[in-house]
């Protein structure tokens, strides 16, 4: 009878021990060295088998004077025997669990964010680590034009209207600019996007670093400033009218007049003085005997009765020979008698 009582209890006790070991193994699956793992002691109950002295009424017989029972009397006494019973025992174990704000994933405690990190990942409880170019509590807001990087925490350094890359912060220069921050204009002779186009301007014209448009120097015109100002015009954008008179030629840049032979003055409005001729009236007339000097060529128009280049010969010819200077339409003057 004792064996029948013990065997089931042993079998049941073994099951309880195995169950307790499994619970303990599950509880300790997290790494306690993980800073995100918290632990505490908890109590739990187990069913155990225990032995005790079980009292029972033991009947025994003794000799006596009872003739009817053949001198044998029945006696009772309390005896004890080993018995087993189930009991509940309180035990303690160390329980590991993820700290507040973390949850278990693949035997690790990872942070938990109330809102999904759209363009980033959860780095701490309710804290998103945004990818470069994104910001906001849940990393759903793109960086504005003046910021870049994770959480849009870096300020763009781009100049002259350049676009700032929201991920790297690199500057995409507008046409006509260059440099890491697009702070420099294109080098002389270049223009446009990336400063890759070569200017076509001529005669010292200024090339617009953005459009490549030519701004002509005074005295020049045309799309590339390849032409001189048209006759009668000079100066910036050929807008000024030349003042030259009597066939004077206007300098396309300064407007200064270059007078034809026989004329002088700022605007070529004054004829050569008497006795002078040629360019800038720099030559002296050689006519004699009252001959008239043509102010443009120096040719002598002889007085009646004289001939020769300078009017020194006695002849009835009224006209002398001409100098080799090219003729032009100019006024003539008589020399002083």
Distance set, CA 266 to CA 228, 231, 240, 257 (Å): 22, 18, 16, 6
- Cα(225)–Cα(207) distance, rounded to whole angstroms? 10
Per-residue confidence (pLDDT) for residue 313, from 0 to 100: 52
Q: What is the pLDDT along the chain (337 residues), one digit of tens a residue?
A: 333 333 333 433 333 343 444 444 444 577 778 888 898 888 999 999 888 899 999 888 888 887 888 888 888 999 999 998 888 889 998 888 899 999 988 888 999 998 899 999 999 999 999 999 999 999 999 999 999 999 999 999 999 999 999 999 999 999 999 999 999 999 999 999 999 999 999 999 999 999 999 999 999 999 999 999 999 999 999 999 999 999 999 999 999 999 999 899 999 999 998 888 888 888 989 888 888 888 888 889 888 888 876 555 544 444 433 333 333 333 333 333 2
Per-residue confidence (pLDDT) for residue 310, from 0 to 100: 54
- Residues pairing with 51 in the sheet: 84
Distance set, CA 17 to CA 9, 14, 48, 84, 207 (Å): 12, 5, 9, 17, 93
Q: Are 181 and 202 in contact (CB under 8 A)?
A: no
Per-residue confidence (pLDDT) for residue 12, from 0 to 100: 38
- Cα(5)–Cα(85) distance, rounded to whole angstroms? 9
φ/ψ (deg, to 5) at 332: -120, 155
HSE value, Cβ hemisphere, 13 Å, CA-based, for 106: 1
108-111 vs 120-124, strand pairing mode? unpaired
Helices vs strands, H then E, count in the chain: 1, 33
Per-residue confidence (pLDDT) for residue 330, from 0 to 100: 36
Residues 6 or more apart whose Cβ sits within 8 Å of residue 1 = none
Residue 203 Ramachandran class (φ > 0 left, ψ -120 to 50 alpha, else beta) = left
Break the chain down into helix, strand, coil percent, rounded to 5: 10, 40, 50
Residues 6 or more apart whose Cβ sits within 8 Å of residue 246 = 259, 260, 263, 268, 269, 330
- Cα(217)–Cα(101) distance, rounded to whole angstroms? 73
Q: Which 3 state secondary structure label does DSSP give 93?
A: strand
- Residues pairing with 98 in the sheet: 37
Spans of all domains in the chain: 32-47+86-112, 121-189, 272-337
- Cα(135)–Cα(119) distance, rounded to whole angstroms? 8
Residues 6 or more apart whose Cβ sits within 8 Å of residue 195 = 176, 177, 178, 186, 187, 209
φ/ψ (deg, to 5) at 255: 80, 5
Q: Which 3 state secondary structure label does DSSP give 281?
A: helix
């Amino acid at each position: 009878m004792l064996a029948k009582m013990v065997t089931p209890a042993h079998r049941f006790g073994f099951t309880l021990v195995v169950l307790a070991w499994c619970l303990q193994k599950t509880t300790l699956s997290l790494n306690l060295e993980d800073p995100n793992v918290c632990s505490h002691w908890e109590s739990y109950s187990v069913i155990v088998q225990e032995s005790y002295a079980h009292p029972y009424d033991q009947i025994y017989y003794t000799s006596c004077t009872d003739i009817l029972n053949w001198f044998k009397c029945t006696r009772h006494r309390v005896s004890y025997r080993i018995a087993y019973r189930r009991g509940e025992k309180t035990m303690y174990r160390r329980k590991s669990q993820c700290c507040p704000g973390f949850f278990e994933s693949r035997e690790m405690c990872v942070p938990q964010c109330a809102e999904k990190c759209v363009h980033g990942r959860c780095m701490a409880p309710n804290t998103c680590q945004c990818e470069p170019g994104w910001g906001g509590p849940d990393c759903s807001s793109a960086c504005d034009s003046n910021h870049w990087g994770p959480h849009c925490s870096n300020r763009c350094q781009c100049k002259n209207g350049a676009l700032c890359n929201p991920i790297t912060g690199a500057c995409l220069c507008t046409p006509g600019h260059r440099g890491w921050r697009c702070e420099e204009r294109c080098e002389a002779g270049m223009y446009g996007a990336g400063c890759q186009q070569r200017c076509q301007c001529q005669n010292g014209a200024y090339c617009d670093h953005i459009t490549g448009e030519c701004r002509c120097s005074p005295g020049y015109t045309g799309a590339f400033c390849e032409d001189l100002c048209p006759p009668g015009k000079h100066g910036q954008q050929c807008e000024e009218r030349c003042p030259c008179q009597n066939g004077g030629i206007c300098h396309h840049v300064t407007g200064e007049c270059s007078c034809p032979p026989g004329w002088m003055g700022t605007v070529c409005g004054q004829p050569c003085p008497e006795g002078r001729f040629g360019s800038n009236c720099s030559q002296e007339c050689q006519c004699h005997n009252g001959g008239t000097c043509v102010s443009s060529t120096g040719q002598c128009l002889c007085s009646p009765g004289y001939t020769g280049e300078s009017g020194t010969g006695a002849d009835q010819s009224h006209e002398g020979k001409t100098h080799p200077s090219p003729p032009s339409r100019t006024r003539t003057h008589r020399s002083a008698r």
